[in-house]
Structure 1
Amino acid sequence: MREDMGEVTTSLQRPVTNTGRSKLVRHVDSFEIQPPTVPSPNGVPRSAWARARRRVSRWHRPYTFALLLLDFAAAALASWIAIQLFDQARSGFYKAKEDPTWFYTVAFVLLPLGWLIILWGNRAYDRRYLGLGPDEFKRVIRAAVAVAASVSFIAFAFKAELSRYTVGTALVGAMVLVLLGRFLARFILHVVRKRAGQAAHRMVLIGTLPECLEVYTAVTRSPAAGLMPVAIHITDGYAAARGIQTPVPVYAGRDILALVREVGGDTIAVCGSASAEPGELRRLAWQLEGSGVDLVVAPQLTDIAGPRVHIRPIEGLPLLHVEEPTLSGPALLAKNLMDRVAAGLGLLVLAPVFVAIALAIRISDPGPVFFRQPRVGHEGRTFRVWKFRTMYIDAEERLAGLVDQNETDGMLFKIKQDPRVFPVGRFLRASSLDELPQLINVLKGEMSLVGPRPLPADDGDFLGDVRRRLLVRPGMTGLWQVSGRSDLSWDEAVRLDLYYVDNWSLAYDLSILWRTVGVVLARKGAY
Structure 2
Amino acid sequence: MRKKSDFVLRFCLILGDAVALILSFAMAYFVRVHVDPRPYVFESQLLDFTMTIVFLVPIMLVILVALGLYKKSIFLGRSRFPERMRLVLAAVLSVAALIVYDFFVGENLFPVRVMAVTAVGLCFVFLLIERIIVRLFIRQVFKSDYGVKRVVIVGNHKNTEYLADYITSTPECGYRLAGIVANRRYIPRDLKTHQYSSLKDALKRARADVIFQTDEKSTEYVYKQAVLRHLLYYFVPSETALSSHFGELELVGNTPAVLVMATPLTGGYAVIKRTFDILFSLVAIIVTAIPMMIVWLVLKLTDFKHSPIYKDDRLTQYNRKFKCYKFRSMKSKYSGLTAEEAFIKMGKPELIKKYRKNGDYMKNDPRITTVGKFIRKTSLDELPQLFNILKGDISLIGPRALLPGELRDYGDRSLLLTVKSGLTGFAQVSGRRDISFEERRALDIYYVRNWSLALDLSIFFKTIAVVFRREGAK
Normalized per residue, which structure has more helix? 2
Judge same fold: TM > 0.5, yes or no. no
TM-score, normalised to structure 1, is 0.38
Larger radius of gyration: 1
TM-score, normalised to structure 2, is 0.42
